């Protein structure tokens, strides 16, 4: 008999809309937040104010749910039904706190192996990285609260369900979270084409965290500055760069062998 997770994944393959679950209307979202249902994000129409919305803001802040202020046209493109100026995207997973997760890894006697995704918004790249990361033995994935891929049907499918086997952590202050990881004794490695250090020259034994940046802008300069090692993947052809999920795969398996 298939387990609950397997049944969930199969259901998602049959119906893509279930994972990208949309809740609209003030009271449905208030109730979902009261039940601590995990959200990817909540969008509220600009200029929309009420006492009920104040509760949404308060609960969302308490649960670290990102809120976006958007024009009415954006909400209208999502649904023509009476959304009352509020639409929320629920998540199939619960987002965790990196401090608690990292403490738990150390306390369990494991050696931390973490991936930090800096503004990677493409859901397929996110899913592909999760699939490789889980196969390589990564403990947790850290993403920012904003400018991160929405975890839905496409991300789950691309990960082949690996997302369910990883601890996904979300931080409002992403750079500070990476600094916390470093201060906890974890070596920070950034993958960046701006470096002259070959990725094979790096030492990846012990607690380690790999930071991957967006294909457009790469890893944030402020994170590169606190990095312990900036790894470059040499390019022999005319193509300027690799897909971020492919680059992550190369680094993760090099790290996995040493880790």
- Residue 83 structure tokens: 């959304």
Which CATH number characterizes residue 35's domain?
3.30.1330.30
Q: Are 49 and 40 in contact (CB under 8 A)?
A: no
Q: Give how many domains the chain has, as a whole number.
A: 2
Report helix angle 26-34 to 51-62, nearest 10: 30
Report in angstroms the alpha-carbon separations of 83 from 14, 25, 43, 46, 186.
Answer: 26, 4, 11, 13, 45
Q: Is residue 171 part of a domain?
A: yes
Mean pLDDT of the chain: 89
**Domain that residue 47 falls in:** 22-90
Taking residue 78's Cβ as centre, other Cβ atoms within 10 Å add up to 14
Q: Is residue 2 part of a domain?
A: no
Are 146 and 201 found together in one domain?
yes
Q: Is residue 116 part of a domain?
A: yes
**Pick from 60, 90, 120: which residue ends a domain?**
90
- At 167-225, the pLDDT tens digits run 999 999 999 999 999 999 999 999 998 898 999 999 999 999 999 999 888 999 999 99
Which CATH number characterizes residue 249's domain?
3.40.1280.10
Q: Is residue 5 part of a domain?
A: no
Are 33 and 79 found together in one domain?
yes
pLDDT at residue 10 tops 70: no
- At 76-110, the pLDDT tens digits run 888 888 899 999 998 889 999 999 999 999 999 99
Tokens 């494991």 — which residue? 110
- Residue 224 structure tokens: 């590169």
Are 235 and 178 found together in one domain?
yes
pLDDT at residue 18 tops 70: no
**Pick from 38, 60, 90: which residue ends a domain?**
90
């Amino acid at each position: 008999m298939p387990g609950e997770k397997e049944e969930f994944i199969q259901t998602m393959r049959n119906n893509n809309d279930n994972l990208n679950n949309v809740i609209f209307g003030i009271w449905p979202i208030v109730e979902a937040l009261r039940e601590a249902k995990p959200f990817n994000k909540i969008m509220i129409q600009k200029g929309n104010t009420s006492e009920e919305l104040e509760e949404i803001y308060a609960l969302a802040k308490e649960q670290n749910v990102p809120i976006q202020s958007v024009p009415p046209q954006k909400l209208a493109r999502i649904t023509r039904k009476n959304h009352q100026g509020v639409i929320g995207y629920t998540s199939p997973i619960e987002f965790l706190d990196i401090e608690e997760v990292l403490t738990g890894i150390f306390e369990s006697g494991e050696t931390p192996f973490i991936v930090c995704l800096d503004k990677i918004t493409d859901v397929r790249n996110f899913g592909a990285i999760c699939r490789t990361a889980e196969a390589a033995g990564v403990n947790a994935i850290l993403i920012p609260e904003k400018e991160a891929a929405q975890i839905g049907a496409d991300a789950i499918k691309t990960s082949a369900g690996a997302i369910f086997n990883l601890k996904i952590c979300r931080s409002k202050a992403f750079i500070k979270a990476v600094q916390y990881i470093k201060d906890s004794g974890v070596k920070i490695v950034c993958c960046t084409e701006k470096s002259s250090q070959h990725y094979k020259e790096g030492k990846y034994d012990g607690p380690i965290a790999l930071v991957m940046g967006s294909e457009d802008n790469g890893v944030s300069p402020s994170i590169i500055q606190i990095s312990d090692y900036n790894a470059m993947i040499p390019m022999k052809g005319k193509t300027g760069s690799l897909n971020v999920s492919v680059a992550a795969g190369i680094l993760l398996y090099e790290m996995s062998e040493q880790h």
